[in-house]
Structure 1
Amino acid sequence: MRDRLLWLFSLLFVLWLVWVETGFQYYERALGSELLVRPAGLALIAGSFLVPYGLVQVPVGRLIDRGRVELWLLLAALVAASCSVVFARSETLMGLLLSRIGTGMACAVAFPASAVLARRTLPTHRFALAMGCTDALVGLGAALAAVVPLLLGRSAWRGLVLLQGLSLLLVVALPVLLLSVSRHARVRADRLPIVASPVDVPRWSRGGVLRLIQCCLLYAWGLGFVFGMAQYGLLSTLKGWPSPLMEGLTLTMSIGLMVGMVGSGALGGRPQRRGRVLLLGTLITLLSLLLLLTSWIPQPLLQLPALTFGIGMGSAVLAFPIAEASAPLGQTAMTVSIVNTCGTLMGGVMSVVSGLILQASPSGDLSLVLVIYGALALFGVVMAGWISLNPELVDAAAIPSRPDAVQSRE
């Protein structure tokens, strides 16, 4: 029961970090106007969350595999909330960058911790669905980021960031602290360190390493779209979309993303289906991208390709169960972290690339968007085809994940 509660709070942490990351686009203009930050500087602030978040994922995942999840969750929530307060009070670009970097690094704990807790509490065949639900929080967090500014106003960005920090303390840090104190009172004699003693770690097989590389590239494709273009700040600026249309398309895409991730996770419970689901998802993403870039579709009808765009990208979540199934015993968090690192780093890079595209492209010129993101869409189709057409690797990935890969320390 305790691990199930911890899993719930880790999911809330994941939801919070997506809200913080995607919410920046809705107040970046107000921040830039108040502090005189140029578009390139705003793009740098946006990317300064995802890049450090991705860089520390692998060591954090290894530590979580060997240590106590609740202590890492508590420490990370406290640091992230503190950095949010610093960000809200910053007056310089350097202060904004450093505090957002700190927030991103602290948030690196949330996703691998949720994977470990899902492995502890759920049946093996439900792990893919659990990861789909966890990753679907990207869509829910993006929707939350779109709704909250409508209630508080875009100009009140400092109050919004302070609200984010306070909410993390209340819904994650405080409950995890209470669970930790309760556990300490019940098992006072069990003085586990935050990191356990070193143990022999099984080595990866050659097929497992190749499968992991495939999954990393596939997830990089997915998050490159999610954080680089799917928030529609790029297209809305170049195509001159009004703010209500941009927010509506973002909300629709977020709903599609949630549907795609949960649906792919449900279908991915049977390993034989994963390759076909991935291939279909990447093809849908490519077609939807082309429709969004066309000028002949009336603006109200853009909601349909926005929905299918999100659904197609959602298939990238299958990278996690495929990689975890081929991982050695006891490396769930680190495996998830490696895949997530590739995705988040790609997302951070593509968010900066989108800012550079905005500076280099005149209004209405979508040529750079078509070249860069069109190539990314084709890359996803190729990766999905490689996975689906390689029987030997599919069989290797179909090995059931071990439920005791990460044992509870209760």
Structure 2
Amino acid sequence: MSGWWAWGAVAALYGYGFFQRVAPSVLVDELRTSLLVGTAAVGGLSALFYVSMALAQVPAGTLLDRFGARRVLTAGSVLAALGSVAFAAAPNMSAASAGRILLGLAASVGFLGCMVVATRVLPPHRFGLAIGLAASIGMLGAMVGQAPLRLAVDALGWREAMAAVTLVPLLLAIACLMLIPRNRSSQEVQADSPAASGERLDLRSMLKRRSIWVCGIVSATLVLPVNVYAGLWAVPFLQEVRNFPASLAALAASCMLIGFGIGSPTAGWLATRTGRPRALLVGAFAVMYCIFVMLVYGPPLSRSFVYLLMVIAGAASGAMVLGFGLASRGVPEDRRGLAFGMANLVVLGFSALGQQASGYVLEVVAHQDLMGPHGTYGSALLLVVGAGVVGLVLTRLLPSTG
């Protein structure tokens, strides 16, 4: 049971990272007024979190392997507190940017830490469930960073509300220091894994492992509709193409996120029970992309049916967590942090590129009726469908059992 407590502290840090990731979306007006900047600058400020987090994935994984989860996650929690204070107290755009960069760097160890700690303090058959639960906690953090944060901002002011949450990472730093066991030495790891002890464990050899990159691409393309459609274009698409009111369009987008939070631990549990993660991933691709094509290119559907389909699609995309388990197969324990970082770098990179590329297509083909009644959104979201086909094909390279 103590292992779950240690893992829970890290999962809470991951949830806090998600909270900070989405927080600017409800602070747009306050940030423009306080920092004297425009909307584009606020968007850039928000993006700094993603950029710093993505660039830090491989270094973060290496640090987790080299210094151990206890030290790195404690330091990451302290860094999150510093970033929170810097952002809340920022007198200008430069200081706010520094705070967002610190928060992104701190968040880079959250999900990786969940996976590393799970492999070291939990039974192997609980890994899939643990990672699925971590994804759900991340979604919960994102939900707290929306309506509840808005209520706190209205009651206290944005600086006061953001400063108050600094207490969370400080408490998590203490929890990580007390609950996470010390890292085992490399000699102990190699003694337990004699087959791996003769293998080169340097960064270059790890970067050449094709299987890790394939797992990352499979996970990235399965969750791409969530990150690109639900995370960016679902609301305007449903408003402009399906005539949804703004509030109901936002509810529909949230349904896909809720489904993801449900599907992630369910996929982990099913993979443990069946021992067939590849079959589950293939089924998840089929469900996700059939529904996605129906929602974007199909005839108008009732709003209640759209909500249901969004939940089911989100649940199917939750199976992306299985790719991380497969990415660590055959990797020595003292290199799993790096393996997870490599796979997560692909997921984050695909999300960023997907949003950027779809936005570019929308701008280029604006006012051109290339997809009939579906307008320019249909053209832009074809990129997501194409990526899904690539991901489905690559599942053939994954091991059939695990």
TM-score between both structures, scaled by the size of structure 2? 0.81
| CA 1:72–1:201: 2 relative to 1, 3 Å | farther
Structure 2, unpaired ranges of 5+: 191-196
Q: Please, which of 361, 370, 378 is the counterpart of residue 370 of structure 1?
A: 378
Deviations 1:21-53 (Å, cap 9, x if unpaired)?
A: 123323334433554544433332222112211
Contact in 2 for aligned 1:142/1:254 (Cα 8 Å) = no
Are residues 1:386 and 2:394 paired? yes
Are residues 1:303 and 2:311 paired? no
Q: Shift of the alpha carbon at 1:322?
A: 0.9
Task: Tell me the distance in 2 between the aligned counterparts of 1:367 and 1:98.
Answer: 39
Q: Quick one: which amino acid aligns to residue 27 of structure 1?
A: L
Q: Please, which of 287, 291, 295 is the counterpart of residue 284 of structure 1?
A: 287
1:90 partner SS: coil
Q: Shift of the alpha carbon at 1:367?
A: 4.2
Q: Quick one: which amino acid aligns to residue 337 of structure 1?
A: G
Contact in 2 for aligned 1:226/1:347 (Cα 8 Å) = no
**Deviation larger for 119-128 or 23-32:** 23-32
Contact in 2 for aligned 1:26/1:154 (Cα 8 Å) = no
| CA 1:308–1:65: 2 relative to 1, 3 Å | same
1:378 partner SS: helix
> 1:187 is matched with which residue?
none
Q: Shift of the alpha carbon at 1:363?
A: 12
Deviations 1:277-313 (Å, cap 9, x if unpaired)?
A: 2122222222333344367234444312221231122
Q: Shift of the alpha carbon at 1:257?
A: 0.3
1:268 partner SS: helix
Contact in 1 for aligned 2:118/2:130 (Cα 8 Å) = yes
Q: Quick one: which amino acid aligns to residue 335 of structure 1?
A: A
> 1:313 is matched with which residue?
317
Q: Quick one: which amino acid aligns to residue 286 of structure 1?
A: Y
Task: Tell me the distance in 2 between the aligned counterparts of 1:326 and 1:196.
Answer: 18
Mapping 1:10-409, distance limit 5 Å: 10-32=10-32, 34-153=34-153, 156-170=157-171, 172-179=172-179, 202-203=199-200, 209-231=209-231, 233-237=232-236, 239=239, 242-269=245-272, 273-293=276-296, 296-352=300-356, 361=366, 367-387=375-395, 389-390=396-397, 393-394=398-399, 398=402
Task: Tell me the distance in 1 between the aligned counterparts of 2:367 and 2:29.
Answer: 19
Task: Tell me the distance in 1 between the aligned counterparts of 2:126 and 2:251.
Answer: 33
Contact in 2 for aligned 1:66/1:197 (Cα 8 Å) = no
Q: Shift of the alpha carbon at 1:226?
A: 3.5
> 2:194 is matched with which residue?
none
Contact in 2 for aligned 1:265/1:318 (Cα 8 Å) = yes
| CA 1:219–1:38: 2 relative to 1, 3 Å | farther
2:41 partner SS: helix
Task: Tell me the distance in 1 between the aligned counterparts of 2:41 and 2:233.
Answer: 15
**Deviation larger for 142-151 or 6-15:** 142-151
Contact in 2 for aligned 1:253/1:308 (Cα 8 Å) = yes
Backbone CA RMSD of aligned residues? 3.6
Task: Tell me the distance in 1 between the aligned counterparts of 2:222 and 2:21.
Answer: 16
Q: Shift of the alpha carbon at 1:325?
A: 1.6
Contact in 2 for aligned 1:220/1:344 (Cα 8 Å) = yes
| CA 1:245–1:53: 2 relative to 1, 3 Å | same
Q: Quick one: which amino acid aligns to residue 161 of structure 2?
A: L
Contact in 2 for aligned 1:217/1:383 (Cα 8 Å) = yes
| CA 1:92–1:324: 2 relative to 1, 3 Å | same
| CA 1:84–1:354: 2 relative to 1, 3 Å | farther
| CA 1:222–1:44: 2 relative to 1, 3 Å | farther
Contact in 2 for aligned 1:215/1:323 (Cα 8 Å) = yes
> 1:186 is matched with which residue?
none
| CA 1:38–1:152: 2 relative to 1, 3 Å | same
Contact in 1 for aligned 2:354/2:384 (Cα 8 Å) = no
Q: Shift of the alpha carbon at 1:366?
A: 6.0
Task: Tell me the distance in 2 between the aligned counterparts of 1:110 and 1:209.
Answer: 23
Q: Quick one: which amino acid aligns to residue 145 of structure 1?
A: G
Task: Tell me the distance in 2 between the aligned counterparts of 1:253 and 1:301.
Answer: 13
% same residue = 23
Q: Shift of the alpha carbon at 1:14?
A: 0.8
Task: Tell me the distance in 2 between the aligned counterparts of 1:333 and 1:195.
Answer: 14
> 1:401 is matched with which residue?
none
Contact in 2 for aligned 1:229/1:354 (Cα 8 Å) = no
Contact in 1 for aligned 2:235/2:250 (Cα 8 Å) = no
Q: Quick one: which amino acid aligns to residue 293 of structure 1?
A: V
Task: Tell me the distance in 2 between the aligned counterparts of 1:20 and 1:201.
Answer: 42
Task: Tell me the distance in 2 between the aligned counterparts of 1:11 and 1:229.
Answer: 26
Deviations 1:261-281 (Å, cap 9, x if unpaired)?
A: 112111222675222221222
> 1:402 is matched with which residue?
none
Relative contact order (C-alpha < 8 Å, sep 6+): which is higher? 1
Structure 1, unpaired ranges of 5+: 184-189, 399-410
